Amino acid sequence: MTFPENLMRETTRDFQIYYNPELHGEIRLDTNTNVLGSNPAATRYLADGKWDLNGYPNTYSNGLRSALAELYGLETENLLAGNGSDEMLDVAFKTFTNWGDRCVVPVPSYTLYDYFVKLNGGTTVESDLTEDFQLDVDDIVRSGAKVVIMPSPNNPTGNCFRRKDVEDILSRFDGVVIVDEAYGEYAEGSMMGRVEEFDNLVVMRTFSKAYAMAAMRVGYAAANKRLMDMMLRIKIPYSLNMVSEGAAIAALKDQDFIRRSVAMVREQRPLLDAGLRKLGFETFPSDSNFIMARSPIDHKVLVDGLKARGVLIRDFGAKRRTENCVRTTVGTAELNAILLEKAAEVIESCR
């Protein structure tokens, strides 16, 4: 028997293990979760919960889907919920791509898109963003691909794409357009409420970022009823567990927590940006709860030096288009002060 390399599916043999840092109590500014801490309403729900663990949850999480429908002025049939928006990405590619179909992924954008495309038998077509990290609309339309995916606000650059460009792609691209709004709460101009306007729009959101419950793994998608019916039939039944579904419904009822979280980020973001510039970073405009910045010293020296001083940020410095760049979550005033102080130390130690 040939062993073991040839046993693995050819198209995914080069896959690497995903980001999984060993933690020693560091301040985490590397995953863009909510720095105000665990979602209060969900935490209360979990503390008070008395569940019958013997019964299956609703097959398609209809409780959460209808709560989301109410929040966004949509109908339950426009929504899908599951195990993180990562599951929504997986379901979308499973639903819409045939073996070998091409899918457009902007560069730079979310690392996991390429993973989900290839995992589902697709081929990734890279489309470089413009100098100011906006979409190259003609390049995407001309690609002839089956699916295009874009995060808006974009990760890791932080900016939203122009509304007009997204609308142009929706009308000119002959395929499915997925808009990943993982950071949508922090930005203006959501496409969530507009899914019935378009034949080919899928929007995704998550409870992992502004909602401060990444540990529960809840994400959702919206689309017109015809697209959603297709996705619903493909999604693994019961994939969202009952405890997480209940916690998410509880969290939706406390919109005040989301408003406070967003207000904190809007207040702190320009201050952190100014602090980074003062240290010699080149920062990029952000509509989300993180900032991408080009380091004044070697990116790896910076990220490792911060880690040694108890602060984690994310390194994008070895990748094309984000050369020597890092990404940090916008912290509270206290956390940002620590980040800036430690960064100054690392930079100083390089002189």
Ligand X SMILES: *Cc1c(COP(=O)(O)O)cnc(C)c1O
Closest by CA position to 27, among listed 249, 330, 281: 330
**3 state DSSP class of 40:** helix
Among 208, 283, 286, 289, indicate the residue that binds ligand X (CB under 6 A). 208
- Which parts of 91-110 interact with ligand X (CB under 6 A)? 110
Q: What is the dihedral of CA 67, 71, 72, 75, to 10 degrees?
A: 30
Stretch that binds ligand X, among 119-127, 184-192, 204-212, 337-345 (CB under 6 A): 204-212
Burial 48-78 (b: 16+ CB within 10 A, else e): eeeeeeeeebbebbebbbebbbeebebebeb
Is-contact 208 214, C-beta < 8 A? yes
Among 122, 158, 219, 305, indicate the residue that binds ligand X (CB under 6 A). 219
What are the tokens at 246? 């209940």
Among 90, 180, 185, 287, indicate the residue that binds ligand X (CB under 6 A). 180
Stretch that binds ligand X, among 38-46, 81-89, 93-101, 141-149 (CB under 6 A): 81-89
- The C-alpha atoms of residue 256 and residue 236 are separated, in whole angstroms, by 33
Least distance CB 262 / ligand X (angstroms)? 16
Among 82, 106, 122, 151, indicate the residue that binds ligand X (CB under 6 A). 151
The smaller minimum CB distance to ligand X, of residues 312 and 346, is found at 312
- The C-alpha atoms of residue 312 and residue 326 are separated, in whole angstroms, by 11
Neighbours of 43 (CB within 10 A): 16
Phi, psi of 315 (to 5 degrees): -100, 120
Size of residue set near ligand X by CB under 6 A: 13
What are the tokens at 148? 């295009």
Report if residue 182 touches ligand X, rule: CB under 6 A: yes
Among 57, 82, 84, 246, indicate the residue that binds ligand X (CB under 6 A). 84
Is-contact 173 141, C-beta < 8 A? yes
Least distance CB 55 / ligand X (angstroms)? 25
Among 45, 81, 86, 201, indicate the residue that binds ligand X (CB under 6 A). 86
Least distance CB 133 / ligand X (angstroms)? 14
Least distance CB 280 / ligand X (angstroms)? 27
The smaller minimum CB distance to ligand X, of residues 166 and 214, is found at 214
- The C-alpha atoms of residue 118 and residue 93 are separated, in whole angstroms, by 9
Report if residue 82 touches ligand X, rule: CB under 6 A: no
Least distance CB 13 / ligand X (angstroms)? 24
What's the farthest any 2 CA atoms get from each other in the chain? 63
- Interacting residues toward ligand X by CB under 6 A: 84-86, 110, 151, 155, 180, 182, 206, 208-209, 214, 219
